[in-house]
Chains A and B, each alone.
Chain A
Amino acid sequence: MMGEEESSKEPMQFLSLNEENTCNDEVLTSNSYSSSRNVITTLASSSVNSQLPAAAGERLVSDPLLFPLDNPSTESYVDVIFSPMDDGPAISSISEPNGTGEILDELTILQRSRKTSSEYLNVTVSDPQKEWESSNSIVSGSNTYVTYLITTNTNIPDYGGSDFCVRRRFKDVVILSDRLNESYRGLFIPPRPDKSIVESQVMQKQDFVEQRSLALEKYLRKLTEHPMIKKSDELRVFLTVQGRMPLPASIDVASRMLDGAARLPKQLLGESRSMIEPQDVVQPAKGGRDLLRLFKELKQSVVNDWGGSRQPVVEDDKEFLEKKEKLRDLEEQLTDASKQAETLVKAQQDMGDTMGELGLAFIKLTKFENEQAVLNTQFLRAVDMKNVATAAVKVSRLYRELNVQTVKHLDRLHEHMGLMLAVNHAFSDRSSALLTVQTLISELSSLHSKAEKLETTSSKIFGGDKSRIHKLEELKDAIRVTEDAKSCAVREYGRIKDNNRSEMKRLDSERQTDFVNMLKGFVTNQVAYTEKIGCEWANVAEETSRYAKEST
């Protein structure tokens, strides 16, 4: 597609900028239509070409369709679209003096105007900058990375302040995400943006940074919207603490493996305690330092799978299992719907593009006929052509705008699809916690039976064996510790189950709300734009109606 600006300028030079909006039917120019147009011209003039910023930019418009309705006094969606029109789709401003400002400036302003709920936590990401890592390492060569300015505005008392500005790099975000995953097992934690190593090499640096910047903002916003995570310390620290982020990276797979490998021989030789410590129990074995525990739980899971022994504690929550199935199903359908939505968006885009190209071709023809005309009939034809061309170009613009809005709305399908990752993660938290419990129970029972054996044998032999008594006491110690661990694990498992339950409820209700809004938005959009498109063509049909009577 040739430069959009170029193609839209040509007809505007040729035709007067005065768009004759002779639509006598229902007036349809919505506030969001004209103001979204402003954003688009803003974006076009600030030469932001990729689709993403445009889509994000669109969100800036105070479009009641998009933002959840906090105040019940907002009009219904239909009313918003079908508001009485001023003369022509005049490019009204969105109360933003510097129209060509950055996307993110407008966002901040809108964010600040959203102080409708009593407690708020608003985050913006901006101003990416290159920084150099001071290399103390032997490996020479400077390592550059990008940092982003994270601006927070809040009235949550725990934050001890209302405005914060910190610089963070992507690695910090990864750490935050990992820490949250550890602390909030069982919750549906919004997935963080990808590391996308390939993309960072392939894309233009600037585009990539922009895309990541938006993705980060989206991610942080989602975190602040989660009822439990918004209160987390990890998030607060991330958002407020100046300088280097103090959250230590607790997941460092390489060193953990090394540590674990170092401990293993001792464990196997029985020199260090081979029990699972209670405090370790609250974390999954996978990705942990304790290789032995990993092996034990792996063994347990195999035992479970081969269905040999009946487990004392199993996943028995029928409601949960049903819900899980349903969510699987939902995930499948969401994926499909998401894909079809993409195809639909592309088809709409193509329609708009081709319509525009057709219009341009006719504009060229019109010009040609006007310049070369010898006969009167040619001038008449040129007039007809011009009408058609003008309509086609207008309709093309309408299709494109329709599409921008459609993307906004249908995007929610993608988002909920992404959320499924979080759901799966939370469910796997649950199953690994269950596995831990089961492993500990098996462990306990084997310890008990060992102890029993020792007791019976020692009672047979007269005189008592010192080492055996010693062993027995060790066993009894182990049993105690393991009992504690087991209680911890059971508690953890219960906690995760509760988290799962409350989250599923939350997800269901939020999804329902989101989807209703999505459908409303999508449908209202379609109505508004197709009506407008119909109007344009009806005018041309009217203007060419004399030919209808002449044919046949």
Chain B
Amino acid sequence: MVQSPRSLSSQAPYLTVSVTDPAKMGNGVQAYISYKVITKTNFPEYQGPEKIVIRRYSDFVWLRDRLFENYKGIFIPPLPEKSTVEKFRFSAEFIEMRRQALDVFVNRIASHHELRQSEDLKTFLLEDEQTMERSRSQETGIFKKKPADIMQIFKDVQSKVSDVVLGKEKPVEESNPEYEKQKNYIFQLEDHLAEAQKHAYRLVKRHRELGQSLSDFGKAVKLLGNCEGNSLGKAFSELGAKSEMLSIKLQREAHHLLMNFEEPLKDYVRAVQSIKATIAERANAFRHHCELAETIKFKEIDLNKLRLTRSEKLAEAEREYEQLKADGEELKMKFETIVKLMNEEIARFQEQKTIDMGVAFHELAKGQAQLAKSMAEAWRSLLPKLEACSS
């Protein structure tokens, strides 16, 4: 159906992305997974309603890093872990989990009113693979923040040690009690969530183990039934068959739990970690702003000295001073932007998480209820036959 440009733009603007068709590329250590990224949009700058490109994990990482650089204050959606070990195994489950997480990642960006306007996002969604690779390799080493660096920033924020370098006694930190509370909340939340996620993962394992043991039990019971013969033997053999059937249901539920409950929890943890990175950025911005303010103060003192001595250096010093003041204003604005954005983001984040967890809980409950009910049915169907045995 062809639509005129006017009718296109009069529709509500949309941008949806899907990450699909994971494919194994390359061999051995060089092997990686490539994904098809399909973009459907009516954004005018996107030149067309649909575009398909091929991307790999490091492309997503590039996008995340670029957004982190350029949109300070906004909680950048988290990426699934790098996982260098599992990569070599490339199990179907791992690939599927990663694909799902990447899909969620891009869509979150695409539905964020600010992030979706990013040039880098456009590059990511539209450019061909070579251009993408070039952009990706340019970023290495300059803007790419290693996790170690971020950790260091955290430590600075937390340990209040940084100022020894500057010769100051007081730590350069915001003295905002509300913000302190928020920070504590985030840090503690991560711990609680991590624990819940750990148990959720174990629960998945338990389902697999129970499934396995039921299967083995079923087989053993069947063999036992062969020894008995007559109606008892038959009963054993039916019990064995039901056990084996239920084992399959358990394996299925294990997978369902993994994808629809454990993964969302993990995603929640990642999101909180992303917020921590933003917190660090804010602390950075604050510190720079404060440092510059100090510098400006000293510069002002110097300037006044120069004014009194009517030195030739005065003009230059004045120019420098003005420059510094402009920079100072810029840094102050940067910092204040971050603060404003963060406040908005936190509210949005909380709302979103209530929904996300609600969905996850619902999936958990639904899956467990279905599993339990079908187990009950299966066992129940054996009862009349068992009754017949004893009569």
Q: In the bound complex, how far is the Cα of B371 from the Cα of A317, in angstroms?
A: 52
Of all chain A residues, which has the CB nearest B347? Answer: A375
Contacts of B189 in A (CB 8 A): 368
- B216 interface hit (Cβ, 8 Å): yes
| Smallest beta-carbon distance B371→chain A, Å | 8
- B354 interface hit (Cβ, 8 Å): yes
- Stretch in B125-133, B223-231, B282-290 touching the partner: B223-231
Most A Cβ at <10 Å: residue of B185, B219, B368: B368
Among A344, A368, A523, A543, which residue has its beta carbon within 8 angstroms of that of B192?
A368
Assess A337 versus B358: contact at CB under 8 Å? Given A351-B206, A361-B195, A523-B386: no
Q: In the bound complex, how far is the Cα of B236 from the Cα of A539, in angstroms?
A: 34
Please state if B361 and A351 are interface contacts (CB–CB under 8 Å).
Answer: no
- B63 interface hit (Cβ, 8 Å): no
Please state if B235 and A516 are interface contacts (CB–CB under 8 Å).
Answer: yes
Q: What band does the interface of chain B fall in when counting residues whose beta carbon is under 8 Å from A?
A: 35 or more
Of all chain A residues, which has the CB nearest B199? Answer: A358
Could you tell me which residues of chain A, from 519 to 552, have a CB within 8 Å of some CB in chain B? 519-520, 523-524, 526-527, 530-531, 533-534, 537-541, 543-548, 550-551
| Smallest beta-carbon distance A20→chain B, Å | 16
Please state if A336 and B376 are interface contacts (CB–CB under 8 Å).
Answer: no
Could you tell me which residues of chain A, from 368 to 413, have a CB within 8 Å of some CB in chain B? 368, 372, 374-375, 377-378, 380-381, 384-385, 387-388, 391, 395
Contacts of A350 in B (CB 8 A): 206, 209-210
- B217 interface hit (Cβ, 8 Å): yes
Contacts of B389 in A (CB 8 A): 516, 519
Please state if A337 and B221 are interface contacts (CB–CB under 8 Å).
Answer: yes
Please state if B232 and A515 are interface contacts (CB–CB under 8 Å).
Answer: yes
Please state if A378 and B350 are interface contacts (CB–CB under 8 Å).
Answer: yes
Assess A354 versus B364: contact at CB under 8 Å? Given A336-B220, A531-B376: no
Flag B186-222 by CB within 8 Å of A: 1 or 0 each: 0011001101101110110111011011101101110
| Smallest beta-carbon distance B206→chain A, Å | 5
Please state if B202 and A519 are interface contacts (CB–CB under 8 Å).
Answer: no
Assess A336 versus B223: contact at CB under 8 Å? Given A385-B357, A544-B361: yes
| Smallest beta-carbon distance B358→chain A, Å | 4
Q: In the bound complex, how far is the Cα of B388 from the Cα of A516, in angstroms?
A: 10
| Smallest beta-carbon distance B264→chain A, Å | 11
Q: In the bound complex, how far is the Cα of B369 from the Cα of A533, in angstroms?
A: 7
Q: In the bound complex, how far is the Cα of B209 from the Cα of A340, in angstroms?
A: 12
Could you tell me which residues of chain B, from 27 to 42, have a CB within 8 Å of some CB in chain A? none
Which 10 pairs show the lowest CB-CB distances between chains A and B? Answer: A534-B372, A547-B358, A537-B369, A540-B365, A541-B365, A544-B362, A358-B199, A537-B368, A337-B220, A347-B213
Flag A302-344 by CB within 8 Å of B: 1 or 0 each: 0000000000000000000000001001100110110111011
Please state if A380 and B192 are interface contacts (CB–CB under 8 Å).
Answer: no
- Stretch in B1-9, B107-115, B317-325, B377-385 touching the partner: B377-385
| Smallest beta-carbon distance B250→chain A, Å | 10
Additional pairs, 12, CB under 8 Å, beyond known A340-B219, A547-B355? A333-B226, A337-B220, A337-B221, A361-B195, A368-B189, A372-B188, A377-B354, A381-B358, A539-B365, A540-B364, A540-B369, A541-B369
- B351 interface hit (Cβ, 8 Å): yes
| Smallest beta-carbon distance A369→chain B, Å | 8
Please state if A531 and B369 are interface contacts (CB–CB under 8 Å).
Answer: no
- B277 interface hit (Cβ, 8 Å): no
Contacts of B181 in A (CB 8 A): 372, 374
Q: In the bound complex, how far is the Cα of B199 from the Cα of A459, in angstroms?
A: 98
| Between-chain CB contacts (< 8 Å), 7 pairs | A368-B189, A372-B181, A519-B235, A526-B375, A537-B368, A544-B365, A548-B366
Q: In the bound complex, how far is the Cα of B200 from the Cα of A362, in angstroms?
A: 10
Among B236, B353, B369, which residue has its beta carbon within 8 angstroms of that of A381?
B353
| Smallest beta-carbon distance A415→chain B, Å | 14
Of all chain B residues, which has the CB nearest A379? Answer: B354
Please state if A365 and B192 are interface contacts (CB–CB under 8 Å).
Answer: yes
Of all chain B residues, which has the CB nearest A534? Answer: B372
Q: In the bound complex, how far is the Cα of B228 from the Cα of A180, in angstroms?
A: 30
Contacts of B316 in A (CB 8 A): none
Flag A152-184 by CB within 8 Å of B: 1 or 0 each: 000000000000000000000000000000000
Contacts of A337 in B (CB 8 A): 217, 220-221, 223-224
Contacts of B235 in A (CB 8 A): 516, 519
